[in-house]
Structure 1
């Protein structure tokens, strides 16, 4: 009986610590403090906060859940107390953050704290519209340490409600570098509608977003700014392959080329070869990853060969195909038309001369003089009958005359007396 109370006391002592570990209001994590949003560049903000100094217990490993509310919803987790965000800002920006247990502890996440940036001022319908930008890689002859340089070309339209005296100004940011446009193209009202950066800080093999910002000024309205982000694979205008050559050996057409002018190496490109048979009006298109191609062809035709390129997904996200290279012509069909036409003209000339000569001969009876008829060979049977017929005729006439003399005796007596 004495042991029973002792066992109850021990069980109670073991239950009390476990009850302390159950979550209650004190086990809720506390939200961060001093949450701020700061613009650090074109279309770029820095979110910063601090851990709550009253957070208990102190040995808990904390993390943070960040939620972007506007302009486009997004959320992610981090252990840092600051975060960089790249997004358009002309519509304002809003974000929230809360404290979370990082190692999956049973502690509950804290409440949210929020901050926002107001949209910049400006009259509706005055900002630029239809902004498009393209990049292109060229050889850099000024810096041997950087053999390639990237140019940038952007175009846009004037806002539908922008006053006629509106003037726009364009900027770009890539990484930590920002530049303002110096070469504009204008419309009939002298308003900037396009910009050209012959050299930029954009990396030919980069993966960062390209931020473009345009603002404006007018005496009659506040021009609303505009931001837009571009992925480089979507703006890159890949150059066509260079040094395209084609050669025919019998029925084998061999095509070779070199990679486009680009910072990407050879293995980063895909190619398309287009072969056009000019005689049969037939196209053949083939895809490949090497810079050579061999095809079996008709050796009596003329061919046009073109090649284009694109950066493959091996090195970055797939973009657009380049323009086709200049056509290279190969084959023997280019000599056949002239030979055929010569034969046609020659035959037509001969026929014409023969026709004219025939007409002249017919009119002047020259044909019979030049070519008299050839006598037919003798026919013995026919000649015999022709010779017999006259003799029989003469004999009949003689017989008639003799008979006449017999019928007139008086005339015969007279003739005798004369002699």
Structure 2
């Protein structure tokens, strides 16, 4: 009995010491940050490759290191984060603003007794070289994708001297950046670009840089990025029609606008009014029919509709123009008693007219007959 108790005590002490020794060993491990971090500009107007190497201290480690990378997206104005085993990551930045990147090593496995360990952050603050006076950059830059077929970008000019603007763009799948083929101009200065022939992709970022023409005075570059579905403007709904059902409801129906946007990606805003009243609005309607269940009797109603890409297909977008206004007016029916009276009067008049015609013919025939008879009597008396 004593030997058994002593054995259990000694075994417990050994296990305790072993566990604490492993914990102490794991807690003493330090993780170094990644080494040789590089940021490479790919020439795609804001797209860069970030590369790094594992810390030298982990070359003989039993754990596979992972890395956590964070960068500040100046277009969306928020931090983005990713954990990866790779040593390369592609990200997009606005080169007109500061580039901020943070990177650290993440370790977990047999070498850490399955505990999570992180290195310190490596912070990279960088900026691309800019040329030209800041006052020369474009102002109020905006783009609209009309009917999801034609992209049109416009801007206001800055202070220029012997300079003109050039628009460059790039989207994933293009071999390199391109320049605008069709500019909008005012007094000889480029104030916009229409992408007529280029086939652009939805749900893929388009990168744009407005800079100066080669050989002219430098212009401060302006960088922009957006996805086309978020700047789309559908056409106006078509064939708007109002009709009254047998139940006394007013039914409104229309056709989706013409364009590449699928009908299930559209929502509608309906406005209706009596001709003397203000507009009433119905928002976020996804069908192409609507029934007005109005308790008060209406004698006339006018409606127009506009469309927009819904939140299931885009983060944002523009409302279309309003459709042509369509109006419905109650027509006062002719009472049935009046219709019957008209029918009866018409039939009676026709009968009376027939009797009158017959009577006239009868009188004429009789008059001839008596005239001939009197003439015959007169001749007889003379003889």
Residue in structure 1 matched with residue 156 of structure 2 by the alignment: 157
Structure 1 residue 170: deviation in Å? 0.8
Are positions 1:170 and 2:167 aligned together?
Answer: yes
Which ranges in structure 2 are unaligned for 5 or more consecutive residues?
332-383
Structure 1 residue 158: deviation in Å? 1.8
Change in Cα spacing, 1:218 to 1:165, as seen in structure 2 (3 Å) is farther
**Residues 93-112 of structure 1 correspond to what in structure 2 (within 5 A)?**
93-101=99-107, 105-106=114-115, 108-112=117-121
Residue 315 of structure 1 aligns to a residue in which SS?
coil
Change in Cα spacing, 1:179 to 1:245, as seen in structure 2 (3 Å) is farther
Residue in structure 1 matched with residue 67 of structure 2 by the alignment: 64
Change in Cα spacing, 1:57 to 1:6, as seen in structure 2 (3 Å) is farther
Change in Cα spacing, 1:255 to 1:73, as seen in structure 2 (3 Å) is closer
Give the distance between the partners of 2:27 and 2:135, measured in 1 at CA: 51
Q: 1:259 aligns with which of 256, 259, 264?
A: 256
Residue 17 of structure 2 aligns to a residue in which SS?
helix
1:9-57: per-residue Cα shift (whole Å, max 9, x none)? 9946862563244257861122222311112312211111122343066
Task: Report how many aligned residue pairs link the two structures.
Answer: 316
Residue in structure 2 matched with residue 38 of structure 1 by the alignment: 40
Residue in structure 2 matched with residue 15 of structure 1 by the alignment: 17
Change in Cα spacing, 1:241 to 1:75, as seen in structure 2 (3 Å) is closer
1:161-205: per-residue Cα shift (whole Å, max 9, x none)? x333121111233333343211112222x21111111243333xx
TM-score where L is the length of structure 2: 0.69
Q: 2:190 aligns with which of 184, 192, 195?
A: 192
Residue 21 of structure 2 aligns to a residue in which SS?
helix
Change in Cα spacing, 1:68 to 1:328, as seen in structure 2 (3 Å) is same
Give the distance between the partners of 1:23 and 1:319, measured in 2 at CA: 57
Asked if 2 retains the 8 angstrom alpha-carbon contact of 1:23 and 1:107, the reply is no
Residue in structure 2 matched with residue 179 of structure 1 by the alignment: 178
Change in Cα spacing, 1:13 to 1:165, as seen in structure 2 (3 Å) is same
TM-score where L is the length of structure 1: 0.64
Which ranges in structure 1 are unaligned for 5 or more consecutive residues?
139-149, 334-419
Give the distance between the partners of 1:120 and 1:112, measured in 2 at CA: 25
Residue 94 of structure 2 aligns to a residue in which SS?
coil
Residue 48 of structure 2 aligns to a residue in which SS?
strand
1:248-286: per-residue Cα shift (whole Å, max 9, x none)? 4685433221112244433332222223433x3453433
Asked if 1 retains the 8 angstrom alpha-carbon contact of 2:73 and 2:93, the reply is no
Q: 1:78 aligns with which of 75, 80, 83?
A: 83
The root-mean-square deviation of aligned C-alpha atoms, in Å, is 3.7
